[in-house]
């Protein structure tokens, strides 16, 4: 069986996007996330999270804050029998970053750097991987990484016509997985 993964954007896909979420008390899981990930796992997919976190680069919160929240988030997945294989984050911003964080990096989506790193570190077959995101930039990153499928969910940002055209499928949220995801994926 191919070594494959479902890549999830975080804000707007896993949790409600309250903008620059970095505290546990502000982290609200979107309905159906755990059930969806259980289905993906049962179909042989690893789970990877790839998230732009320019709030770090902008100085709104620290990498330490991000790591504390991530540790808690991964524990919530574990409590639902879901293993999150990797969490990748981009702390940079091309124009709004402070100090060393201001850079035109390869990891901030729509660049595919985080996705490619996941493919390499987990020895995945990119052509069997699926990306879920709530923005066009998530879709562009998946396209550049050569993923099999890119799915937009409407549980985050409002989407333009142009962004909708970048997706292979559009779901209301991960809560649709039971109905829309089959083992053929
Ligand atoms: Mg998002
Ligand atoms: Zn970056």
Q: Flag whether 10 is marked binding.
A: yes
CATH of the domain at 92: 3.40.50.1000
**Within a domain: residue 173?**
no
Task: Determine whether 9 is an active site residue.
Answer: yes
CA–CA gap between residue 38 and residue 32 (Å, rounded): 10
Q: What percent of the chain has pLDDT over 90?
A: 96
pLDDT at residue 2 in the model: 78
pLDDT at residue 77 in the model: 98
Chain position carrying tokens 């201001």: 102
174 pLDDT more than 80: yes
**Within a domain: residue 59?**
yes
Summarize pLDDT for 137-169 with one digit per residue, the tens: 999 999 999 999 999 999 999 999 999 999 999
Residues 61, 69: contact at Cβ < 8 Å? no
pLDDT at residue 123 in the model: 98
pLDDT at residue 22 in the model: 97
Active-site residue, from 9, 65, 138, 168 = 9
Active-site residue, from 11, 81, 106, 172 = 11
Q: Per-residue confidence at 18, pLDDT binned at 50, 70, 90?
A: very high
Task: Determine whether 172 is an active site residue.
Answer: no
pLDDT at residue 99 in the model: 87
Task: Tell me the helix, strand and coil percentages in the chain, rounded to 5.
Answer: 40, 20, 40
**Within a domain: residue 110?**
yes
**Within a domain: residue 58?**
yes
Summarize pLDDT for 69-106 with one digit per residue, the tens: 999 999 999 999 999 999 999 999 999 999 899 999 99
Q: Which residues surround ligand 1, an ion (CB under 5 A)?
A: 9, 11-12, 134, 156
**Within a domain: residue 102?**
yes
Compute, in angstroms, the gap from residue 174 CA to the centroid of ligand 1. Answer: 13
**Within a domain: residue 169?**
no
Structure tokens at 129: 């991987």
**Within a domain: residue 35?**
yes
**Within a domain: residue 78?**
yes
Domain with 20, as residue range(s), is 5-126+141-162
Based on the structure, what is the number of domains in the chain? 1
Q: What is the mean pLDDT of the chain?
A: 96
Determine how many CB atoms are found less than 10 A away from the CB of residue 80: 12
Q: Per-residue confidence at 1, pLDDT binned at 50, 70, 90?
A: low
């Amino acid at each position: 069986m191919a070594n494959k993964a479902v890549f999830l954007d975080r804000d707007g896909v896993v949790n409600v996007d309250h903008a620059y979420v970095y505290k546990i008390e502000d982290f609200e899981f979107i309905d159906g996330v755990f059930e969806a990930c259980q289905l993906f796992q049962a179909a042989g997919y690893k789970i990877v999270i790839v998230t732009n976190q320019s709030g770090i680069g902008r100085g709104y919160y620290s990498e330490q804050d991000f790591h504390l929240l991530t540790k808690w988030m991964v524990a919530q997945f574990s409590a639902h029998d879901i293993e999150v294989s990797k969490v990748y984050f981009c702390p940079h911003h091309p124009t709004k970053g402070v100090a060393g964080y201001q850079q035109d990096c390869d990891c901030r989506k729509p660049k595919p750097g985080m996705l490619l790193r996941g493919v390499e570190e987990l020895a995945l077959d990119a052509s069997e991987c699926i990306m879920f995101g709530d923005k066009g930039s998530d879709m562009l990153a998946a396209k550049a990484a050569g993923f099999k499928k890119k799915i937009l969910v409407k549980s985050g940002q409002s989407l333009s016509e142009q962004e909708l055209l970048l997706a292979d499928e559009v779901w209301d949220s991960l809560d649709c997985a039971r109905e829309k995801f089959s083992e053929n994926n």
